[in-house]
Amino acid sequence: MRLVFRVHAIERMFRRRIDEEDVRHVINNGETIESYPTDTPYPSRLVLGWRGSRPIHVVAAESSESGEIFVVTVYEPDPNLWEPGFRRKKS
């Protein structure tokens, strides 16, 4: 799997102290909690994963032609905005 990091994702990772290994772990082992099939140029998804006790969300888009996964953004979900377990936003 070849990851391509968008500038936005790199900036967010740096600010939030999330490294490439964390992102790979989330994409490989995490759970897709939302899908965005109409996103362009490629369908994307929101993946929830854990690094120890730390939840991490990764938004990634995959090109079926090249097999590349584009990392759009990465963040630690805010417990004030997300339900316990970080799978659903609070309404």
pLDDT digits (tens, 9 = 90+) for 12-31: 999 999 999 999 999 999 99
Instruction: Look up residue 36 and give its two tokens.
Output: 């965005």
Whether 70 and 60 have beta carbons less than 8 Å apart is answered as: yes
- With contact defined as beta carbons under 8 Å apart, do 89 and 23 qualify? no
| Mean pLDDT to the nearest integer, 29-40 | 97
Q: Which residues contact 14 (CB under 8 A, 6 or more apart)?
A: none
Neighbours of 75 (CB within 10 A): 16
pTM confidence score: 0.94
Domains of the chain: 2-75 (3.30.2310)
User: H helices of 1-91, where?
Assistant: 7-16, 20-29
Q: What is the distance of C-alpha 29 from the center of its chain? A: 12
